[in-house]
Structure 1
């Protein structure tokens, strides 16, 4: 194993719970026949990992009502504001990223978010600095980041991961991926990658471990402190401190 590739939302940052909160506020007003915010939450669990535009299209198709023409923009602006003001890094991820830096393991990020949302995520969560340190430790000017802006068909299509492999000059066998959603798992597995399913985010619903296993997860982790052992199992020769 020579390359790590991480999803961002629900893996590096605990952002999905914020985005879901905005949708649970707005959708009962826009699509009232879908039920209460609690019933909407069940629908959002089903849509875990989908892009917001696809969630809105899916749910509008289940309703007799139509969304406002600017629904996607309203959601985007509100989510961006909340992320900028209150986004937290995933518990334990900073310590794991420091370990990755010290191991000189190359890291890339592959996300269904836009490039502008990624900028907010990394800066608001305080992760930009340690990610820059990982890039520098591997002789890179900046961390490779691939977003939905880079492909026509984002996750669950494998295109983002295939683009990352081509750009990084890696084979699928050389990489280990971390994903939290069925959508992301589908994309990575379709690209031939070995995937660790992450279950530590606030938005993860009951039974999600089985969803990820059924979708092709190689291993699962509930906490980031488990990840170095998964790297060992994937073939990384751990460098002990001098």
Structure 2
């Protein structure tokens, strides 16, 4: 077993930035314009980790053919407009990134524009150079497919088995497992109403351990080393 990861791949929404409550509210409101009544909490429970495209396609196929083809763009623009006043980084993320002594990058199911603006709005952009950002815009099949994580490994010059992924949703964990990358589950974001249940969900999806405070990451890495 690898003694220490050579690359940490962070998810963005729900791991670096506390965006899921905001995103779920915007998706809920947008779906309401097309006669679909689903609460933000229900949206978060059912679709956390999904792309906006996938959510639009789901409802267009199941119950609402009136949903426009540019549904994802509508949601994206509405969400981005809230970033300056509402989006925050998760607690202790800055301190954690500043003190990591291992290569790291971000791989998000957000599209490039939204990922860049989320990092900029929270001041996390200084930790992630352009070449260390990987969005769903760069792959044909986003998470839960393994393509995005594999692309991150390839571009960062690290084999999948030498990397470590941090994800907050079963969608992301499934993608990492499919890519052959060990994955830690994170349950510290504000949208997680039942941490114990979410922990079990992530473990069932394939996470080898779960943590809830970003300050725990260094000790989690030591545990990984002890492996």
What is the TM-score normalised by the length of structure 1? 0.83
Q: Which residue of 2 aligns with 1:123?
A: 120
- Answering whether residue 7 of structure 2 is matched by residue 3 of structure 1, we say yes
CA deviations on 1:21-50 (whole Å, 9 max, x unpaired) are 111222233134xx4x43x63244111100
- The 3 A distance-change label for structure 1 pair 64 and 179 is closer
Q: Which residue of 2 aligns with 1:199?
A: 187
Cα distance in 2 between the residues matched to 1:150 and 1:177? 18
Cα distance in 1 between the residues matched to 2:96 and 2:106? 15
Q: Which residue of 2 aligns with 1:30?
A: 34
CA deviations on 1:44-90 (whole Å, 9 max, x unpaired) are 41111000111122133332562245433321211111123321001
- The 3 A distance-change label for structure 1 pair 63 and 151 is same
Following TM superposition, where does structure 1 have runs of at least 4 consecutive aligned residues deviating by more than 6 angstroms? none
Q: Secondary structure at the match of 1:90?
A: coil
The aligned runs of 1:57-68 (5 Å cut-off) are 57-63=57-63, 66-68=66-68
Q: Which residue of 2 aligns with 1:14?
A: 18
Structure 2 gap segments, 5+ residues each: none
Report which stretch shifted further, 53-62 or 17-26. 53-62
- The 3 A distance-change label for structure 1 pair 72 and 144 is closer
Structure 1 gap segments, 5+ residues each: 136-141, 237-242
Matched length = 220
- The 3 A distance-change label for structure 1 pair 95 and 158 is same
Q: Secondary structure at the match of 1:30?
A: coil
Cα distance in 1 between the residues matched to 2:137 and 2:172? 16
Q: Which residue of 2 aligns with 1:46?
A: 46
Instruction: Confirm or deny: 8 A CA contact 1:51 1:112 kept in the other structure.
Output: yes
What is the TM-score normalised by the length of structure 2? 0.89
Cα distance in 1 between the residues matched to 2:203 and 2:90? 22
Q: Deviation of residue 201 (structure 1)?
A: 1.1
TM-align CA RMSD: 2.0
Cα distance in 1 between the residues matched to 2:103 and 2:215? 19
- The 3 A distance-change label for structure 1 pair 166 and 87 is same
- The 3 A distance-change label for structure 1 pair 150 and 229 is same
Q: 1:222 aligns with which of 212, 216, 219?
A: 212
Q: Secondary structure at the match of 1:234?
A: helix
- The 3 A distance-change label for structure 1 pair 72 and 166 is closer
Q: Which residue of 1 aligns with 2:111?
A: 114
